[in-house]
């Protein structure tokens, strides 16, 4: 399959990184970086240009040698030079580039002087004080490396929720088939739908004698057994993920499920409340002196201490117990509440499927509308649109809608917010749209005051509807940028515009607590898939998980509105 420009640019950047670590000639390194940028900003896919017989060495800064490499990458996905560099250097070395503050030059020195090849080894070296001994690295940079690698390692041990879901689903299905097993359920952070999961906690209740723990530790994917008794077992799977299993009698099931769902902070707060009422709760039940109160269901356990049932996503000791006490728990949004999706890409920019295919897929999921929001021109790597191409897409959408009585495609764009806070497309084209989604895709590193000013200025644009993935983070890969969220939310309310909860599993941006803040400030949150293919409407489920952790109700979410109710809200941002 021919490579996308973005993949070609990434491969060229990898070559530059590896050459840099190797200590190659700076001019050669710069040539690869420039070529990566040039390819990234091309208006056309390289494979298409090649098919049309274009000469790549006509491009600025690209000579015959680089042109041949680009052709090789475009046709095969890689090139001999990249393969050779990857073989010569230790496989983990590019991981070191992920440590904030470490560029190729410093990685080269650390590798050369200390022989470190992995983040773990670098962490160890910093802990032993060996980093500060190197020329150019003082105690201060050693401490920074120590902190950054610690954070990196911590983060790496947690896995994203969607992956945990897959493993847990398979294990639970297996447990449920064992003789004597009445129920097999998930607990822990997985059930609370945290965005990352440290280990899996599974709970089984029995209807008779059962070989459940023996069969569990003997499972095919188990690499190590940490504990094995008749009521509990812990294993490490081949993937490195730990799984804790508890087996409980049916009469304790509710109490145990609450206990092992956590969070720990929620449990502690529950226990304190129970004590105030002269009760004792633990994983076996609720007790007044020696009497056991009903604890077979979670509802019964909560009721015994005077509370309404609390949804697992809320169990973080962030006010849910007080809310349950006062009977003002939120009625959390569910997937079926969503009527549309306001951030979707098609093959016109970096999506995989056509506008028509995306609309059909959204409709098949019961949605009523979607907004097509291609990248704008600055994002050459994503084949971003210029005004002329956007104008053609607007016409195409008009034609589509004329033929589509029961599903509407809204005209949008995901316009880049430039460094100074201006937008990457002129008002003359933006004003023809139904909505303008603004997003930051570069200079994530601006200082707080400057980043905040950039976002506020963007929201002051004449046409601005929705701030996409506000934090700009990629979970486990890139931290959120630093800005004053409260000021941004207040500006959004003042301007009548909205913030996105981007549902891509790697983004989940807004975070849960940021959703709570948006709700408190009276700013509607839009849960968008940011789908780049028809399959990616699945992301909406992850977005709903996160929104629920953020206490959002149907009314707090913009795209639970019918198209009729949505239109005037969008129109207010486009005047």
Taking residues 316 to 335 in sequence order and writing x for each that binds ligand DGT by CB under 6 A, - otherwise, the string is --------------------
CB closer to Ca ion, 243 vs 372: 243
Residue 348 CA to chain centroid, in angstroms? 24
For position 199 contacting ligand DGT by CB under 6 A, the verdict is: yes
DSSP-derived letter for residue 198 is: S
CB closer to Ca ion, 188 vs 351: 188
Q: Which of 425, 447, 448 is nearest to 437 (CA)?
A: 425
CB closer to ligand DGT, 132 vs 242: 242
- Kindly report the length of the chain: 575
Sign of CA dihedral 495, 333, 351, 410: negative
CB closer to ligand DGT, 30 vs 271: 271
Please choose which of ligand DGT, Ca ion, none residue 263 contacts, taking the beta carbon within 5 to 8 angstroms, the exact cut-off set by kind.
Answer: ligand DGT
Q: Collapsing DSSP states into helix, strand and coil, what is residue 542?
A: helix
How many residues bind ligand DGT (CB under 6 A)? The answer is 14
For position 337 contacting ligand DGT by CB under 6 A, the verdict is: no
Q: Tell me how far, at minimum, the Cβ of 159 lies from Ca ion, in Å.
A: 11
Taking residues 366 to 385 in sequence order and writing x for each that binds ligand DGT by CB under 6 A, - otherwise, the string is --------------------
DSSP-derived letter for residue 58 is: G
For position 226 contacting ligand DGT by CB under 6 A, the verdict is: no
Helix axes 253-261, 264-276, angle to 10 degrees: 130
CB closer to ligand DGT, 391 vs 506: 506
For position 188 contacting ligand DGT by CB under 6 A, the verdict is: yes
Q: Tell me how far, at minimum, the Cβ of 152 lies from ligand DGT, in Å.
A: 17
For position 505 contacting ligand DGT by CB under 6 A, the verdict is: no
Two structure tokens written together for 30: 């710069």
Give dist(CA 510, CA 516) in Å, integer: 10
Q: Taking a C-beta distance cutoff of 8 angstroms, is the pair 30, 97 a contact?
A: no
CB closer to ligand DGT, 262 vs 340: 262
Q: Taking a C-beta distance cutoff of 8 angstroms, is the pair 219, 243 a contact?
A: no
Please give the sequence-ordered ranges of beta strands (E in DSSP) within 326-401, or none if there are none. Answer: 340-344, 369-375
Range in contact with Ca ion (rule: CB under 5 A) among 236-244, 441-449, 457-465, 504-512: 236-244
Strand-pairing partners, residue 417, are 423
> How far separated are the first and last CA of the chain, in Å rounded?
45
Taking residues 132 to 171 in sequence order and writing x for each that binds ligand DGT by CB under 6 A, - otherwise, the string is ----------------------------------------
CB closer to ligand DGT, 316 vs 434: 316
Q: Which residues, 163 to 202, sit near Ca ion by CB under 5 A?
A: 188-189, 199, 201
Q: Taking a C-beta distance cutoff of 8 angstroms, is the pair 107, 21 a contact?
A: yes
For position 464 contacting ligand DGT by CB under 6 A, the verdict is: no
For position 312 contacting Ca ion by CB under 5 A, the verdict is: no
Q: Which residues, 341 to 360, sit near ligand DGT by CB under 6 A?
A: none
Upstream peptide bond of 367 is cis (omega within 30 degrees of 0):
no
CB closer to ligand DGT, 190 vs 333: 190
Give dist(CA 344, CA 413) in Å, integer: 9
Q: Collapsing DSSP states into helix, strand and coil, what is residue 352?
A: coil
Helix axes 26-40, 64-76, angle to 10 degrees: 50
Please choose which of ligand DGT, Ca ion, none residue 113 contacts, taking the beta carbon within 5 to 8 angstroms, the exact cut-off set by kind.
Answer: none
Please choose which of ligand DGT, Ca ion, none residue 160 contacts, taking the beta carbon within 5 to 8 angstroms, the exact cut-off set by kind.
Answer: none
DSSP-derived letter for residue 376 is: B
Give dist(CA 138, CA 373) in Å, integer: 47
Q: Taking a C-beta distance cutoff of 8 angstroms, is the pair 499, 526 a contact?
A: yes
CB closer to Ca ion, 156 vs 199: 199
Residue 25 host element (H or E): none
Give dist(CA 221, CA 130) in Å, integer: 39
CB closer to ligand DGT, 259 vs 369: 259
Range in contact with Ca ion (rule: CB under 5 A) among 244-252, 263-271, 297-305, 506-514: 244-252
Q: Tell me how far, at minimum, the Cβ of 172 lies from ligand DGT, in Å.
A: 15
Taking residues 240 to 279 in sequence order and writing x for each that binds ligand DGT by CB under 6 A, - otherwise, the string is -------------------xx-xxx--xx-----------
Give dist(CA 485, CA 519) in Å, integer: 13
Q: Tell me how far, at minimum, the Cβ of 225 lies from ligand DGT, in Å.
A: 17
**Any residues with CB less than 8 A from the CB of 224 and at least 6 apart, and which?**
235, 236
Residues near Ca ion (CB under 5 A): 188-189, 199, 201, 244
Residues near ligand DGT (CB under 6 A): 188-189, 194, 197-199, 201, 259-260, 262-264, 267-268
């Amino acid at each position: 399959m021919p490579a996308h420009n973005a993949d070609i640019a990434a491969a060229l950047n990898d070559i530059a990184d590896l050459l840099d670590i190797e200590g190659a000639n700076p001019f050669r390194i710069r040539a690869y970086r420039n070529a990566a940028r040039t390819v990234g900003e091309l208006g056309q896919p390289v494979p298409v240009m090649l098919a049309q017989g274009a000469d790549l060495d006509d491009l600025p800064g690209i000579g015959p040698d680089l042109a041949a490499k680009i052709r090789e990458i475009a046709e095969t996905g890689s090139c001999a030079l990249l393969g050779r560099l990857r073989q010569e250097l230790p496989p983990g070395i590019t991981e070191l580039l992920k440590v904030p503050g470490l560029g190729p030059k410093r990685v080269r020195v650390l590798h050369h002087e200390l022989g470190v090849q992995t983040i773990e080894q670098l962490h160890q070296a910093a802990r032993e004080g060996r980093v500060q001994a190197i020329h150019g690295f003082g105690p201060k940079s050693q401490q920074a490396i120590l902190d950054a690698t610690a954070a990196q390692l911590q983060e790496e041990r947690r896995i994203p929720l969607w992956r945990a879901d897959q493993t847990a689903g398979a294990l639970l299905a297996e447990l449920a088939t064992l003789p004597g097993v009445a129920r097999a359920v998930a607990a822990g952070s997985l059930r609370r739908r945290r965005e990352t999961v440290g280990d899996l906690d599974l709970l089984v209740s029995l209807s008779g004698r059962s070989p459940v723990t023996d069969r569990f530790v003997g499972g095919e994917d188990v690499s190590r057994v940490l504990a094995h008794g008749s009521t509990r077992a812990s294993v490490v799977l081949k993937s490195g993920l730990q799984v804790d299993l508890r087996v409980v009698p049916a009469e304790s099931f509710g109490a145990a499920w609450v206990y092992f769902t956590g969070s720990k902070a929620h449990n502690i707060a529950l226990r304190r409340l129970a004590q105030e009422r002269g009760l004792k709760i633990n994983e076996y039940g609720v007790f007044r002196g020696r009497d056991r109160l009903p604890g077979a269901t979670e509802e019964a356990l909560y009721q015994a201490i005077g509370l309404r049932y609390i949804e697992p996503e809320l169990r973080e000791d962030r006010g849910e117990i007080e809310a349950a006490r006062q009977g003002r728990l939120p009625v959390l949004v569910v997937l079926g509440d969503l009527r549309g999706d306001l951030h979707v890409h098609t093959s016109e920019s970096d999506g995989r499927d056509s506008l028509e295919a995306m609309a059909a897929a959204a409709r098949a999921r019961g949605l009523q509308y979607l907004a097509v929001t291609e990248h704008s021109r600055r994002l050459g790597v994503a084949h971003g649109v210029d005004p002329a191409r956007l104008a053609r897409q607007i016409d195409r959408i008009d034609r589509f809608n004329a033929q589509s009585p029961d599903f509407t495609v809204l005209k949008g764009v995901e316009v880049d917010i430039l460094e100074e806070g201006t937008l990457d497309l002129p008002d003359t084209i933006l004003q023809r749209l139904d909505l303008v989604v603004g997003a930051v895709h570069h200079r994530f590193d601006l200082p707080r005051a400057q980043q905040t000013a950039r976002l506020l200025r963007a929201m002051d644009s004449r046409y601005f509807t929705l701030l996409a993935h506000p934090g700009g983070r990629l979970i486990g890969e890139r931290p959120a940028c630093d800005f004053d969220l409260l000021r941004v939310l207040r500006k959004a309310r003042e301007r009548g515009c909205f913030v996105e909860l981007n549902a891509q599993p790697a983004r989940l941006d807004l975070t849960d607590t940021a959703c709570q803040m948006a709700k408190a400030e009276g700013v509607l949150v839009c849960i968008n898939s940011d789908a780049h293919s028809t399959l990616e409407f699945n992301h909406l489920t992850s977005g709903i998980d996160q929104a629920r952790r953020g206490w959002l109700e149907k009314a707090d979410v913009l795209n639970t509105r019918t198209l009729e109710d949505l239109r005037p809200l969008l129109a207010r941002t486009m005047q």
